[in-house]
Amino acid sequence: MQYANDEEAPITSLKHYLSSIGFNQSYNNSLEDLEDVKLFGKSGISVMNPSSERMNTLRINSPPRIAKES
């Protein structure tokens, strides 16, 4: 839905265009399992009070999650 003087209109238009030519948008959680982060040779930032045992590290790059979802 667009409104008059919508500041997001150019971004929305670009998203629609890129989607129409085959690009996909990915929303990813920043928390990962430490072992998954290590698979890509990167270190993460440990979370002191994680919401679960598997989501215990703040990832500092995107490839681990994108590779899982591909």
The gap between the terminal CA atoms of the chain, to the nearest Å, is 30
Assessment of whether the complete model's pTM goes beyond 0.95: no
Antiparallel, parallel or unpaired: β 31-32 and 45-46: unpaired
CA dihedral 59, 15, 70, 47 (to 10 degrees): 10
pLDDT number for residue 2: 55
Of 69, 7, 60, whose CA–CA distance to 34 is shortest?
Answer: 60
Stronger pLDDT, 29 or 57, i.e. the higher one: 57
The 10s digit of each residue's pLDDT in 5-17 is 678 888 889 989 9
pLDDT at 1 over 90: no
**pLDDT over 70, % of the chain:** 79
pLDDT at 70 over 60: no
CA dihedral 28, 33, 36, 41 (to 10 degrees): 100
